[in-house]
Amino acid sequence: MASAVAHAGASRATRSVALAVLLTVGAAAPRALAAQEFVRQSLLIAPLRPDSGGSSARDAARTAKQVTDAVRERTGQRTEVKSLRVLEGYRLDNLLLELNYKPQQRIGDAELRFFGQQLRADEVLVGRVVPQPAGVIVVARLALLRSWGMQQPLPVVRAATPALAGDALAREIVSARAQLTGVRRCENALARGDRRAAAREAEGAIRAYAPAVIARDCLIAALIDGTTSADSVRRLTDDVLAIDSTNLFAAVVRADALETEGRTTDAIVQWRRVYALRNDSLALGVRVVEGFLRLQRPADALTDATDLLTRLGADARLRRLVFRAHAALAHWRETAALGDSLELEDAAFRADSNYATRYVEALRQQGDTLAALEVGVRAVRRHAGDARLYLQYLQLLGMETSSALPRGLTRFPEVPDFYVLTASAARKAGNRTDALRATQEAIRRDASRTTLYLQLADLFVEAQRADSAAAALARAPRTGEQAELLRTYTVARGLLLLRAAGDTLPVQQQAAVSMLWLADSVSSRADSRAYAAAATLQLARAQLLQASKTRTCADARTADATLGQSAAAIERGLGESANAAEITSMQAAMRSAVDNAMTVLCRP
């Protein structure tokens, strides 16, 4: 009893001394203490998972617990109490008991997040312990509970004993947390919309901890502003993935950046990596599938979307993506069948005219014209401002000459396709003047479509205006696949004109030569050079005949200049065909004939 009283007295004395010390410190301190910038954070150190390696499961579990206890203790000792509170292990143990979790039961990420929220944690340490004959290996990472994807992998710890491993891991935790103040400032700046300040704070956080992943993630978020170049953003993601290859945010941003850079093949590979990282996430799966569709890889999109549907169950977004993939692959039966279902069940499908155009086209391709027309009529009423649907409606009706076409021109005066239909109707009716006018109007509204220039050239040739046809083709776009289309057409049209002209229609003959040279200018190859050289020789011969009739030096000089063009084509090579030798021989003969004419007709 006496000892208890003495103990109570000692306790009171201790509290009195402590109070006096606090009062003394308070009196000595400045009157206004600087406020702490952020509230104290709480760290949940989850039980490290045992990885038996070569040890027994029981020994591995014991070692993992020893490391967990040690890292909790040493982290608490190494950090300031005002900035970080390490949650006591018993708090999690009690929660697990309340929830009927067995001690040996493995805890997944989703459960850890829930437990962290219940314990009001801000940060969570997760990892595994691998006992070794000569010591212990610990692999761990620090995660932010408010955004679980923001995780910092810590350097692998190798130590002789669990206690030393716990101490070493605690040092790594303290080092990694040096970035977190800057990260909070970066996040706050992003919330204010101040991306420049956010980037500055993130860069400061990276200086505080060189291998910072969380800070680099915030820096990337700050730089995705439409002004930073895609290659700069990608290089940052490369830095993150070099440290943490499982960082999902950096992996997705890298795929987007590669798309923006136009590196299609690399972007496809990156989207595949993203899907391999997290193929259990519906939102991420949708992004991956959309990426494949943007990159014109509908087969990959269909494979992943079908896989997600199988594993995650029916979802309207995925079904719409499957519909798009089937349509892109021209799987018309599957597209039509899925369209029937989505049209009935999915409001988002009905609200988007892009789906309606694909659905109508699938029905038409299936040969179900009546169903296509029925859906098309509904779609035109539902999406009155979409010219594509109205065009489909006209094509299904076959009413280019009816009142429906003028109504289309009135409703959509800037859409070139209606002028194309008008030109087609006028051409069928034998009204070439109206057809020419309508085609020219279509080109005025969209000068990027090579096919419109080819149609215009056809109309000019039919009107016996070959020179106008050549001029129209010279204005046609010659990029991408359109270049080959233009080249093929001008070669064919030029040869037809040349055969029809002979030596009696000089304007038509000149237009044919111009077309063949145009084809060679689009892409110079041995065949186009041979065609152009032969046609030019034929033209030079006609001009020489003209000079022999007029007996003028000017006409002889014209033939001489034309012959120079064919010589230039021959010098660049005509290939190994028999025609090449014949053209070269013809050039020599014409050269001699023109030189003689120049000598006779162009005397001083």
Q: Which residues contact 583 (CB under 8 A, 6 or more apart)?
A: 530, 533, 534, 537, 566, 570, 574
Q: Would you state the pLDDT for residue 12?
A: 40
Split at pLDDT 50, 70, 90, the class of 563 is: confident
Instruction: Tokens for 507, please give them.
Output: 């304007």
Quick one: tokens of 546?
A: 């003209």
Residue type, 525: R
Cα dist. 256→247, 282, 438 in Å? 15, 18, 42
Per-residue pLDDT, averaged over 521-540, amounts to 87
Share of the chain above pLDDT 70, in %: 92
d(CA 599, CA 560): 12
Residues in CB range of 496: below 8 A, 6 or more apart: none
Whole-structure pTM value: 0.71
- Cβ atoms 200, 223 nearer than 8 A: no
Q: Which residue has the tokens 């509290």?
A: 15
Rounded percentage of the chain residues whose pLDDT exceeds 90: 49
The whole-number pLDDT of residue 508 equals 86
Q: 458-479, pLDDT tens digit by residue?
A: 999 999 898 999 999 999 998 8
Compute the distance between CA of residue 381 and CA of residue 360 in angstroms, rounded to an integer.
14
The 10 Å Cβ neighbour count of residue 443 is 20
Query: Which pLDDT belongs to residue 103?
Result: 62
pLDDT score for 105:
65
Residue 235 has pLDDT above 50, yes or no: yes
Q: Using CA atoms, how far apart are residues 111 and 576, in angstroms rounded to an integer?
A: 74
Which pLDDT score, from 0 to 100, does residue 200 have? 95
Distance CA 171, CA 154 (A): 10
Q: pLDDT, tens digit, for every residue of 159-168? A: 999 999 999 9
- pLDDT digits 0-9 by tens, 196-218: 999 999 999 999 999 999 999 99
pLDDT at 28 over 60: no
Q: Give me the pLDDT at residue 600, please.
A: 83
pLDDT band at residue 53 under the 50/70/90 scheme: low
The closest alpha carbon to 155, from 142, 146, 164, 143, belongs to: 142
Q: What is the DSSP letter of 315?
A: -
Q: Once rounded to an integer, what is the mean pLDDT over residues 289-311?
A: 95
Contact 457, 490 (CB under 8 A): no
DSSP string, 99-139: TT--TT----HHHHHHHHHHTT-SEEEEEEEEEETTEEEEE
* 553, 601 Cβ separation under 8 angstroms: yes
33 vs 118, which has greater pLDDT? 118
pLDDT, one tens digit per residue, over 320-357 is 999 999 999 999 999 999 999 999 999 999 999 999 99
β 123-132/49-50 pair status: parallel
Q: Which two tokens stand for residue 126?
A: 């997760």
